[in-house]
Amino acid sequence: NAGVTQTPKFQVLKTGQSMTLQCAQDMNHEYMSWYRQDPGMGLRLIHYSVGAGITDQGEVPNGYNVSRSTTEDFPLRLLSAAPSQTSVYFCASSEGSGYTFGSGTRLTVV
């Protein structure tokens, strides 16, 4: 099993550009979520989903959209990138006992 796969690993965007961070899991987990982690900081929840067709906002949702059309995929869209969105983004999935994280996307907005 690959677990949770995130692409790309690194990305540089210009202010105002949009992009989609991809997240896929092959463990048939119902729950998926997106976090951002700023340097030296903890994890902040952006959006989450408890199943296909269901999404909800976390602690810091502004500037981001998500969709969950399948159990496997949970893409995160940045609508109009801002320097404040420079961060490392982690996708995680769970069956209810422990999260499995992807390896992260390191995003820089210039």
Partner 1 sequence: GQQVMQIPQYQHVQEGEDFTTYCNSSTTLSNIQWYKQRPGGHPVFLIQLVKSGEVKKQKRLTFQFGEAKKNSSLHITATQTTDVGTYFCAGPEADSNYQLIWGAGTKLIIKP
- Residues within the interface to partner 1 (CB under 8 A): 30-31, 33, 41-43, 45, 48, 50, 90, 92, 94, 96-104
DSSP SS3 for 71: coil
Q: Residue 15 or residue 26: which is nearer to partner 1 going by CB?
A: 26
CB 109 within 8 A of CB 82: yes
CB 95 within 8 A of CB 29: yes
Q: Distance between CA atoms of 92 and 23, rounded to whole angstroms?
A: 9
CB of 9 to partner 1, least distance (A): 11
CB of 103 to partner 1, least distance (A): 5
Q: Distance between CA atoms of 70 and 110, rounded to whole angstroms?
A: 33
For residue 23, what are the β-bridge partners?
A: 6
Q: Residue 81 or residue 104: which is nearer to partner 1 going by CB?
A: 104
Q: Residue 30 or residue 73: which is nearer to partner 1 going by CB?
A: 30
CB of 76 to partner 1, least distance (A): 15
